[in-house]
Chains A and B, each alone.
Chain A
Amino acid sequence: MTEKKLTIALAGNANVGKSVIFNQLTGLHQHIGNWPGKTVEKAEGTLHFKGYTIDIIDLPGIYSLSTFSIEELVSREYIAVERPDLVINIVDASVLERNLFFTLQLMELETPMVMALNQIDMAEKKGIRIDHKKLQKILGIPVVPTVAIKGTGVYELLEKSVEIIEKGGINPPVIKYGEEVKEKIREITKLIEKIQFRYPARWAAIKLLEGDEQVEKEIREIGPKTLPTAEKLAKEIEGIHGHSCSTIITSERYEAAGKIAREVQQIVPKIRPPVSETLHTITTHKILGYPIMILAVLTIFQSIFTFGNYASELLSNLLYGWEPLFEGLLGTGVVKELVWGGVAEGIIAGVTVALPYIAPFYFILYLLEDSGYLSRIAFLMDTLMHKIGLHGKAFIPMMLGYGCNVPACLGCRIMETERERLLAAFVTTLIPCAARTVIILGLVGAFVGIQWALALYVIDLLIIFLLGRLAFKALPGEPTALIMEMSDYRFPHLKTVGKQTWFRLEEFIKISFPLIVVGSLVIKLMEILNLLEPIANILSPVTVTWLGLPATTGITLIFGVLRKELTLIMLATLLGTTDFARILTPLQMIVFTLVAMLYIPCVATIAALVKEFGWKKALFITVFEIIFAIFVGGITLRLLILTKV
């Protein structure tokens, strides 16, 4: 007997515990990819239940089904066109009204539904009690109370879902709009029914009234006659109400959601506010919020770097210990050089340099996100981020950038528009990652003085500020402002956080490791073929004449494209000493570090940029940053000579 296949999609607002439910349902059987052709994540998992193989699709957390973001477009297209057998709508019981607004929109997509009324424990702590049976009756869809982080209700949820599917998938009823609007919807629906649209006719009719550009575009292709009618009717509604039609429909939807919420919930205000509330007040406090944030961020960096250094050393001692083994197997000839020096060392470097910092970075970041602190940081940093045309949320990928630029570039997806994503990614690539920190501290910090190392960080921040501002002015489009929910603080679900960390690491390895290995091989080949000297000579007008550095640094800077910390390691190998003071003047060290810090991140970051923004933009950023770094390096040299000597 073969198992029957079912598909269930999870849909809901952000921060409602959706990913926790996804984890509870699918356990280890999940994989994360992208929606075809989109930079939106697609999480999929499977489970077996009562003789069914159920495919679970975790849709992105969204607040509406309009065209505001790619996430919204992806979600509505999936539900309406791909038609999963059922949609589980996950709802935060403590913010019922807003969540119901989304529920009502899902219902309009005419898909079989079950609701998970999640976080009922948190709602009760806030003094909100919900009569879920009454809610079920009003909505006409099954409502299952759940506490996802404890696993409560998840089994019942699944049971209910299968039951609904077995019954043949009952379509939920739809909300009723005011008389005038209802009539117009009916009229347009009739027109759309005639042209065989891929979305439900009534839903499309509502969207046309709302002025939804995507739906308009698609209808224009198959039945353009519908559009003028819809426009005329929308104008009529606008004439009656004095607001735009989109506003009226959204308002009516919210009114309906509010009415249902008031009917089913009982609010007993607590005498003492819950701990999460107090925590929110303190961490977003006008004065206290900032020192708390700075302390938190510094503590995080400190512990990540401490852990990273320790783990990195441990791993490299272990892995480099395998070299004799390779020598024994492959001898000491060219083959060994390529296999060990090219492939193995590339992988080892990735493992020892990147992973020890990136893994804890991700873990802590997801802990902060899950608990709710990241949104508070975004709130506090909004003003500062605005100076470079971004808003508070951009601080999060920037923070990630100090660990590694690759995840930071991918992290820019949290920004709403393409323009902001690009701007944030550009700024992020200028942030000195862990590998660049190795150079700054290992060269300037150790041999020139820690104050000079700190000065470089400050200069970097100034440059970010300046370039960010310039890019913001140069890029077309309107700057956007922050609009974000700050949901209540809650305990993060460690398993979910662990999984999110793991998936991110996997993504990182997939993007960066192949390039690191190929790059290592190429450079090893160049070394074997004695091409390094000639290249150093070709570069000498730049390195020697303009930057005032020894010619060999040209080679090391090329190595740095692979991984930045290699510039320092290579410098030591080529010059035959780790006592850099003997071969470089303090001035040369500063210039060298400055250039290494600023010229393109590394080959893996370029790959991440290509993945997110395409070849052209990635190439532009790369070329720009190389020229810029060389320019700044030369200017600094001349300035320092002028002022110091």
Chain B
Amino acid sequence: MEGPRRTEKAELPLTALRDGESGIVTSVEEGRGGGHGRGRGGWGFKKRLMDMGLTPGTRVTVVKSAPFRGPLEVSVRGSRLALGRGMAERVFVEITK
């Protein structure tokens, strides 16, 4: 029933989830930019995602996504976050029912 993208790999970026689907965070990738910009690049934003509650093992639900590849509204640790695509792509999850 499910598309091939779901069976090939257990880990998916948050952006691959459909509205209403949940997953458990497995890892958060650092930014492509690495560490430049005095820690403001990759490291800073990974840390930011963690600080907002997206730590490994956390359950996260994609509530909806804005049209035209817009940001995602996710629910994590009882709070509601808006995550731009660039951010959401770095968060990898394992799908749960």
Residues on A close to B: CB < 8 A? Answer: 63-64, 66-68, 94-98, 101, 211, 213, 243, 246-247, 250-251, 254, 258, 261, 280, 284, 286-287, 289, 375, 378-380, 382-383, 386, 391-392, 417, 419, 477-488
A-B contacts, 16 listed (Cβ < 8 Å): A95-B79, A96-B78, A97-B78, A247-B50, A280-B80, A379-B71, A382-B66, A386-B84, A391-B84, A419-B37, A479-B86, A481-B86, A483-B45, A483-B87, A485-B52, A487-B80
Asked whether A481 and B84 contact (CB < 8 A) given A67-B39, A254-B77, the answer is: yes
Name the one of A98, A247, A386 contacting B79, with C-beta atoms under 8 angstroms: A98
Q: Contacts of A485 on B, CB cut-off 8 Å?
A: 52, 79-82
- Cβ contact within 8 Å between B56 and A243: yes
**What is the CA–CA distance of A98 and B79 in the complex, to the nearest angstrom?**
7
User: How many residues on B have C-beta within 8 angstroms of the other chain's C-beta atoms?
Assistant: 47
- Cβ contact within 8 Å between A382 and B70: yes
Asked whether A483 and B48 contact (CB < 8 A) given A379-B82, A478-B32, the answer is: yes
**What is the CA–CA distance of A101 and B48 in the complex, to the nearest angstrom?**
13
Distance in angstroms from B92 CB to nearest chain A CB is 12
> 1/0 contact trace for B9-49 toward A, CB 8 Å?
00000000000000000011001110011111111111111
Name the one of A66, A211, A417 contacting B51, with C-beta atoms under 8 angstroms: A66
Distance in angstroms from A394 CB to nearest chain B CB is 12
- Cβ contact within 8 Å between B57 and A251: yes
**What is the CA–CA distance of A484 and B87 in the complex, to the nearest angstrom?**
11
**What is the CA–CA distance of A101 and B58 in the complex, to the nearest angstrom?**
14
Q: Contacts of A243 on B, CB cut-off 8 Å?
A: 27, 56
Contact residues, B68-97 vs A (CB, 8 A): 68-71, 73, 77-88
Closest A residue, CB atoms, query B90: A481
**What is the CA–CA distance of A575 and B49 in the complex, to the nearest angstrom?**
60
Name the one of A94, A417, A482 contacting B84, with C-beta atoms under 8 angstroms: A482
Distance in angstroms from B65 CB to nearest chain A CB is 8
**What is the CA–CA distance of A488 and B85 in the complex, to the nearest angstrom?**
22
Question: At the interface, yes or no: B61 with Cβ under 8 Å from chain A?
Answer: no
Name the one of A64, A254, A479 contacting B55, with C-beta atoms under 8 angstroms: A254
- Cβ contact within 8 Å between A379 and B73: yes
**What is the CA–CA distance of A219 and B78 in the complex, to the nearest angstrom?**
37
**What is the CA–CA distance of A246 and B31 in the complex, to the nearest angstrom?**
15
Distance in angstroms from A189 CB to nearest chain B CB is 22
Closest A residue, CB atoms, query B71: A382
- Cβ contact within 8 Å between B52 and A483: yes
Closest A residue, CB atoms, query B34: A478
**What is the CA–CA distance of A95 and B53 in the complex, to the nearest angstrom?**
12
Asked whether A247 and B66 contact (CB < 8 A) given A67-B44, A98-B53, A98-B78, the answer is: no
Q: Contacts of A480 on B, CB cut-off 8 Å?
A: 45, 84, 86
Q: Contacts of B31 on A, CB cut-off 8 Å?
A: 478
- Cβ contact within 8 Å between A68 and B66: no
Extra A-B contacts (14), CB below 8 Å, given A251-B50, A286-B67: A66-B51, A67-B39, A67-B44, A97-B53, A101-B51, A101-B53, A247-B55, A254-B53, A392-B82, A479-B86, A480-B45, A482-B84, A483-B82, A485-B52
Distance in angstroms from B46 CB to nearest chain A CB is 8
Distance in angstroms from A296 CB to nearest chain B CB is 17
**What is the CA–CA distance of A573 and B24 in the complex, to the nearest angstrom?**
70
- Cβ contact within 8 Å between B37 and A478: yes
Q: Which are the 8 A-B pairs with shortest beta-carbon distances?
A: A481-B84, A481-B86, A478-B33, A482-B84, A64-B51, A251-B55, A481-B87, A250-B50
- Cβ contact within 8 Å between B84 and A478: no
- Cβ contact within 8 Å between A63 and B51: yes
- Cβ contact within 8 Å between A68 and B80: no
Distance in angstroms from A273 CB to nearest chain B CB is 13
Interface centre among B31, B45, B51 (most CB of A within 10 A): B51
Distance in angstroms from B26 CB to nearest chain A CB is 10
Q: Contacts of B83 on A, CB cut-off 8 Å?
A: 481-483
Interface centre among B39, B49, B82 (most CB of A within 10 A): B82
**What is the CA–CA distance of A63 and B48 in the complex, to the nearest angstrom?**
9
**What is the CA–CA distance of A442 and B25 in the complex, to the nearest angstrom?**
57
Q: Contacts of B71 on A, CB cut-off 8 Å?
A: 379, 382-383, 392, 481-482
Q: Contacts of A488 on B, CB cut-off 8 Å?
A: 80
Name the one of A68, A261, A478 contacting B47, with C-beta atoms under 8 angstroms: A68
Closest B residue, CB atoms, query A92: B79
Closest B residue, CB atoms, query A419: B37
**What is the CA–CA distance of A216 and B71 in the complex, to the nearest angstrom?**
35
Closest A residue, CB atoms, query B58: A254
- Cβ contact within 8 Å between A478 and B36: yes
Q: Contacts of A97 on B, CB cut-off 8 Å?
A: 53, 77-79
**What is the CA–CA distance of A392 and B70 in the complex, to the nearest angstrom?**
10
Distance in angstroms from A92 CB to nearest chain B CB is 9
Distance in angstroms from A70 CB to nearest chain B CB is 11
**What is the CA–CA distance of A487 and B80 in the complex, to the nearest angstrom?**
7
Distance in angstroms from B22 CB to nearest chain A CB is 16
Closest B residue, CB atoms, query A277: B80
**What is the CA–CA distance of A485 and B71 in the complex, to the nearest angstrom?**
12
Closest B residue, CB atoms, query A417: B40
**What is the CA–CA distance of A247 and B56 in the complex, to the nearest angstrom?**
8
Distance in angstroms from B30 CB to nearest chain A CB is 9
Q: Contacts of B51 on A, CB cut-off 8 Å?
A: 63-64, 66, 68, 101, 250
Q: Contacts of B49 on A, CB cut-off 8 Å?
A: 483
Interface centre among B28, B56, B71, B77 (most CB of A within 10 A): B71
Q: Contacts of B85 on A, CB cut-off 8 Å?
A: 481
**What is the CA–CA distance of A213 and B41 in the complex, to the nearest angstrom?**
13
Q: Contacts of A483 on B, CB cut-off 8 Å?
A: 45, 48-49, 52, 81-84, 87
Name the one of A95, A101, A213, A378 contacting B39, with C-beta atoms under 8 angstroms: A213
Closest B residue, CB atoms, query A246: B47
